[in-house]
Amino acid sequence: MNEIARFAISLLPVAAFLSLTGCNRQAAAPAEPPLAGATLGGPFALTDQDGKTVKDSDFAGKYRLIYFGYTFCPDVCPVSMQRLMQGYRLFEKANPEAAAKLQPLFVTVDPERDTPAALKQFVGNFHPKLIGLTGTPEQIAAVAKGYAVYYRKAGEPGAKDYLMDHSDVTYLMGPDGAPIALVPQDGTPQAIETVLAQWVK
C-alpha cells in the first residue's frame, strides 16, 4: 500500500492548512479553524454496522471525527483507528462532557466486502461509540468525493484478495457539519487528543 503518498496527494487542495495542525496548547489558538471555508463534507445517507440507515443530519449538533478506510486493510487502517480511538479515550478521560459531543465515524472505501457484519466486527475492536458506515458503490463514491478522499482497488483485476489504495486522513467536523481541522491519525494519541481538546468544546 502506498497510503502515505496517497494521503499527501489527496491533501494538496488543503495543504495550505497543514502547517496549522501542529500548534501546541501553549500557542495562541488560531482565530479560525484551520479548515474553515474548505469545501469538504456534505450530506450522505449510508448504512451502519447494524444495517440501519444513517444520515449526516443524524449528527446535527455533534462534532464528528471521520476516517475513511477498509476493514481488510492489513496495516494502515487498523493502526490509524487504534491511535484515533486511543486519543479519543484520553479526551474522554480529560473532558467527558466535551467528548460526549463528538461522534467517531469509520467510512469504508471497500463497500464490496465491507458489509455491515464485517464493519461490526471491525469497529468493535476500537471503541463502543465508533460507528462503521458502508453503502452502495455509488453512495461511497459520493461521500468520498465530498471529503476529497482518494481510493482505488489495487492488484490483479478480479482478484478476491485485493487491496485498496486510499487516503489516510481524518477530519474533525463541527456540529453544523462544517470542516474544522485535520486530526493526526499518524501521530501519538496525545497529539490527537490535543487537536480534539482545542476544538471540541
Query: Closer to Ni ion at the Cβ: 46 or 73?
Result: 73
Beta strand ranges found along the chain (DSSP E): 45-48, 53-55, 63-69, 102-108, 131-134, 151-154, 163-166, 170-173, 179-182
Tell me the closest approach of the beta carbon of residue 194 to Ni ion, in angstroms: 24
The cell numbers describing 28, all together, are 495562541
Q: How many residues does the chain have?
A: 201
Q: What ranges in 102-188 are assigned the alpha helix state H?
A: 116-123, 137-146
Query: Closer to Ni ion at the Cβ: 78 or 175?
Result: 78
Tell me the closest approach of the beta carbon of residue 164 to Ni ion, in angstroms: 7
Q: Footprint of Ni ion on this chain (CB under 5 A)? A: 69, 73, 76-77
Q: From residue 7, give the alpha-carbon distance in Å to each of 40, 121, 152, 168, 170.
A: 15, 26, 13, 5, 10
Query: Closer to Ni ion at the Cβ: 74 or 158?
Result: 74
Q: Using CA atoms, how far apart are residues 48 and 103, in angstroms rounded to an integer?
A: 13
Query: Closer to Ni ion at the Cβ: 59 or 68?
Result: 68
Q: Report the residue closest to Ni ion, judged by CB.
A: 73
Tell me the closest approach of the beta carbon of residue 197 to Ni ion, in angstroms: 27
Tell me the closest approach of the beta carbon of residue 186 to Ni ion, in angstroms: 12
Strands 179-182 and 163-166: unpaired
Query: Closer to Ni ion at the Cβ: 81 or 200?
Result: 81
Tell me the closest approach of the beta carbon of residue 82 to Ni ion, in angstroms: 12
